[in-house]
C-alpha cells in the first residue's frame, strides 16, 4: 500500500490554515485609516443635517405659536395679551397650542451647555413656568412714542412705569402694526435668560444681549405678525431696519447702532 504524503503548503502569509485569504497587519491598518478618514468627512455633514432638522423643528414651534397668537387676537377684540407679570403670554396662548409646553422649547437650545432654557421660577401656572426658548415683542417703541391715547389720564412716565412693570391692563392692538409681514412677533432668546418680552427700551435694549440672533448657525428663527415664521440670517433682523420696532422712525433709529 502506497504511502500518501501531502505536500506542505507554501504560503505568503495571506492564507490561513483553512486556505482562506486573510489581511496582513499593514492592510488592516490601511483599511482602518480609510474608514477613519471617511468618518471624519461624513460627520460634519451628518451634524449639519441634524442641526437642519432641529432648525425645522424650531420653526414649526414658532409657526404654532404664531397661529396660537392669531387665535387669541381674534378672540380678544384684536389685541395681543397684556403685559401682566402674574399671567404672561405662554399661559394666555396655552389653550391654543393644545396644552403642549414642548412647543415653547427649541431642540437646539442649550445643547452646547446642556442647560435647560430658563424661565421665571415660581410661576403660578404650568405654561409660564415651563422651559422656554422664545420671547414675544414688548412693543416698546410704540408705547414710548407716540403716547398711547388711552393713557391721557396720567403722565407718560406713570404709564410707562405701569407698562414696564407688568401692570398695564391693555394689550397691543393688531391694527397698530402697519407692517405685519415685516415686524417680528416672536424670536429666540439665549437659554440663560428668563425674559418673556423682547424690550427695546430695557437696559439699553435687549435685541442683542438677550435675543439670540444666531440660534441656528448664521441666523435664528422668528415668527412675524402676519402669522408666518421664517429663518433670518444675522444681522438682517436688526439692519438696515430693526424688525422688532413697530413705528417707522424707530425701525430706522434702533438700527443705526448695528
What is the chain's pLDDT, residue by residue, as a tens digit (258 residues)?
A: 445 454 454 444 445 445 556 668 887 888 888 888 877 776 666 666 678 889 999 999 999 999 999 999 999 999 999 988 888 999 999 999 989 999 999 999 876 667 899 998 888 899 999 999 999 999 998 887 655 555 456 677 777 888 888 888 889 999 999 999 999 999 999 999 999 999 998 887 888 889 999 999 899 999 999 999 999 999 999 999 999 999 999 999 999 664
| Residue 87 lies inside a defined structural domain of this protein | yes
Report residue 209 as a C-alpha cell: 444681549
- Give the integer Cα–Cα distance in Å for 247 and 237: 15
User: What confidence score (pLDDT) does residue 7 get?
Assistant: 47
CB 217 within 8 A of CB 104: no
Distance of CA 119 to the CA centre of its chain: 14
Task: Centre a 10 Å sphere on the Cβ of residue 188 and count the other Cβ atoms it contains.
Answer: 25
| Residue 69 lies inside a defined structural domain of this protein | yes
Report residue 22 as a C-alpha cell: 486573510
209 CB burial (10 A radius; 0-12, 13-18, 19+)? exposed
What total number of domains does the chain contain?
A: 1
Across the strands, what pairs with 222?
187, 230
| Residue 49 lies inside a defined structural domain of this protein | no
| Residue 9 lies inside a defined structural domain of this protein | no
| Residue 114 lies inside a defined structural domain of this protein | yes
Q: How far is CA 221 from CA 1, 29, 217, 247, in A?
A: 90, 45, 11, 22
| Residue 22 lies inside a defined structural domain of this protein | no
Entry pTM: 0.80
| Residue 88 lies inside a defined structural domain of this protein | yes
CB 185 within 8 A of CB 223: yes
User: What confidence score (pLDDT) does residue 47 get?
Assistant: 63
| Residue 169 lies inside a defined structural domain of this protein | yes
| Residue 122 domain boundaries | 55-253
Amino acid at each position: 500500500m502506497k504511502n500518501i504524503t501531502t505536500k506542505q503548503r507554501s504560503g505568503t502569509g495571506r492564507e490561513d490554515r483553512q486556505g482562506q485569504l486573510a489581511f496582513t497587519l499593514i492592510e488592516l491598518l490601511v483599511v482602518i485609516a480609510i474608514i477613519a478618514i471617511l468618518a471624519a468627512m461624513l460627520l460634519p455633514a451628518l451634524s449639519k443635517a441634524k442641526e437642519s432638522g432641529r432648525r425645522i423643528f424650531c420653526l414649526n414651534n414658532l409657526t404654532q405659536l404664531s397661529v396660537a397668537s392669531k387665535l387669541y387676537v381674534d378672540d380678544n377684540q384684536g389685541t395681543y395679551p397684556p403685559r401682566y407679570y402674574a399671567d404672561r403670554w405662554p399661559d394666555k396662548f396655552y389653550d391654543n397650542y393644545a396644552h403642549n409646553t414642548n412647543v415653547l422649547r427649541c431642540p437646539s437650545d442649550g445643547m452646547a451647555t446642556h442647560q435647560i432654557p430658563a424661565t421665571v421660577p415660581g410661576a403660578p401656572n404650568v405654561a409660564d413656568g415651563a422651559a422656554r426658548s422664545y420671547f414675544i415683542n414688548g412693543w416698546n417703541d410704540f408705547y414710548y412714542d407716540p403716547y398711547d391715547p388711552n393713557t391721557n389720564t396720567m403722565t407718560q412716565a406713570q404709564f410707562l412705569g405701569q407698562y414696564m412693570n407688568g401692570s398695564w391692563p391693555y394689550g397691543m392692538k393688531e391694527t397698530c402694526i402697519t407692517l405685519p409681514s415685516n415686524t417680528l412677533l416672536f424670536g429666540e432668546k439665549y437659554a440663560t435668560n428668563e425674559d418673556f418680552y423682547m424690550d427695546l427700551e430695557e437696559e439699553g435694549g435687549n435685541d442683542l444681549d438677550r435675543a439670540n440672533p444666531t440660534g441656528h448657525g448664521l441666523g435664528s428663527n422668528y415668527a412675524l405678525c402676519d402669522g408666518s415664521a421664517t429663518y433670518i440670517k444675522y444681522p438682517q433682523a436688526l439692519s438696515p431696519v430693526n424688525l422688532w420696532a413697530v413705528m417707522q422712525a424707530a425701525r430706522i433709529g434702533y438700527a443705526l447702532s448695528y
